[in-house]
Amino acid sequence: MTAHPDLHTELRGDIAVVRLARPAKRNALNDGLVAAIRDTFLGLPDSVRAAVLDGEGDHFCAGLDLSEIKERDAGQGMHHSRMWHAALEEVQYGRVPVVAALHGAVVGGGLELAAACHVRVADDTAFYALPEGTRGIFVGGGGSVRIPRLIGVARMTDMMLTGRVYNAQDGERAGFAQYLVPKGEALAKALEIAARIATNAPLTNYALMHALPRIAEQPADQGFLTEALMSAVVQSAPEAKERVRAFLEGRADKVKKA
Ligand code: 1HE
């Protein structure tokens, strides 16, 4: 795993806790930190079965480090955005599911980063915004692709046109987060969820991470075929057979009423 002064990784059993650790700058992401995110997720040890991403201090992440914005020609601007894409690709399409623990500002590139995770847990201090729209810039970290898949194009357009900020409750209803917990409890809840995820068959987790978003992009007839192929691969694993046998022999949990 790559060492970076502003990105800490801690192994807790089979869970990796990756923490943005630049609280004085509200965890704003400069180029070095974006590269460290890429390298960290690419290099997670084989023993890791799920990851949690959180931020130190009062805010998850204030987005792009605006002090690094410099005169870029169009080509340089494109490469900068592509560098973010490459990093967040390692989060979304890495080896293990990533649970984001959100609190405070989840804004701009911070929201783009959160959107690359697989499950989002927010505490009630969280707020969501895309100030790019009113700062004269545009999203560049994959937000235009990922965020509408959480909340829809209409909500994202409104946020960028008007600078609208969603609080934690409205944000959960809109689809930014799947879990909402009291202040200070997002990390604990994210760890609990990651621990649950880590007990799944790794191939099932891989299929969920890699096939579901792609199937969502495919025409239905192709999606059905991809689903059938993925299903056949996952079911053929000895672990799948053992898990089904365990249920049939009364050794596995039943689904309980919610
Ligand atoms: C920063 C940044 C940053 C804080 N880049 N330095 N993102 C934004 O437009 C959000 C900008 N930030 C804010 O609106 C606020 O800072 C917060 C709501 C996140 C937090 O407020 P607060 O009152 O707790 O902190 P603060 O006093 O505003 O900031 C503390 C320090 O962090 C201060 O520096 P200091 O040297 O004066 O102490 C701030 O300048 C610094 N700071 N946020 C640089 N973002 C791939 S494209 C993505 C495009 C984007 O993400 S654009 C959206 C950028």
Cβ partners under 8 Å of residue 237, min gap 6? 201, 203
Picking from 200, 195, 191, 225, the residue whose alpha carbon sits closest to that of residue 211 is 225
What's the rounded Cα separation, in Å, for the pair 173 and 158? 16
The structure tokens listed for 147 are: 């965020």
What dihedral do alpha carbons 171, 176, 177, 182 form, nearest 10°?
-30
Q: Reply yes or no on whether the pLDDT at 183 is more than 90.
A: yes
- Confirm or reject: Cβ of 63 under 6 Å from ligand 1: yes
Residue whose tokens read 């689903």 = 227
* pLDDT, tens digit (0-9, with 9 covering 90-100), for 190-246: 999 999 999 999 999 999 999 999 999 999 999 999 999 999 999 998 889 999 999
Q: 30 phi and psi, to 5 degrees?
A: -90, 175
Give the per-residue pLDDT at 111. 98
The domain limits of the chain are 7-198, 202-248
Annotated catalytic residue 71: no
The average confidence (pLDDT) of the chain is: 96
DSSP H helices in 100-257: 109-116, 143-151, 153-162, 168-174, 186-198, 202-217, 220-235, 238-248
Give the per-residue pLDDT at 257. 93
Give the per-residue pLDDT at 2. 61
- Confirm or reject: Cβ of 115 under 6 Å from ligand 1: no
Rg (CA), the chain: 19
Q: Reply yes or no on whether the pLDDT at 33 is more than 80.
A: yes
Give the per-residue pLDDT at 193. 98
Picking from 190, 182, 192, 32, the residue whose alpha carbon sits closest to that of residue 117 is 190
The structure tokens listed for 61 are: 């992440």
Q: Reply yes or no on whether the pLDDT at 66 is more than 70.
A: yes
Average pLDDT over residues 121-133: 97
- Confirm or reject: Cβ of 84 under 6 Å from ligand 1: yes
Annotated catalytic residue 56: no
Residue 64: Cβ-neighbour burial (10 angstroms; 0-12, 13-18, 19+): buried
What's the rounded Cα separation, in Å, for the pair 14 and 43? 14
Q: Do domains 7-198 and 202-248 have the same CATH topology?
A: no
Going by CA atoms, what residue is nearest to atom 48 of ligand 1?
Answer: 109
User: Domain 202-248 - what CATH class?
Assistant: mainly alpha
pTM recorded for the entire structure: 0.97
Going by CA atoms, what residue is nearest to atom 33 of ligand 1?
Answer: 25
Q: Reply yes or no on whether the pLDDT at 71 is more than 90.
A: no
Q: Reply yes or no on whether the pLDDT at 35 is more than 70.
A: yes
Average pLDDT over residues 75-97: 96
The CATH number corresponding to 7-198 among 3.90.226.10, 3.30.413.10, 3.30.930.10, 3.40.50.300 equals: 3.90.226.10
Give the per-residue pLDDT at 107. 98
The CB-side HSE value for 132 (13 A sphere, CA atoms) comes to 24
Average pLDDT over residues 129-152: 95
The structure tokens listed for 220 are: 């239905």
Q: Reply yes or no on whether the pLDDT at 72 is more than 70.
A: yes
Q: Which helix (H) or strand (E) holds 51?
A: strand 50-55
Going by CA atoms, what residue is nearest to atom 32 of ligand 1?
Answer: 25
Residue 1's pLDDT band, with cuts at 50, 70 and 90, is low
Give the per-residue pLDDT at 85. 98
Q: Reply yes or no on whether the pLDDT at 29 is more than 80.
A: yes
The structure tokens listed for 43 are: 């290099």
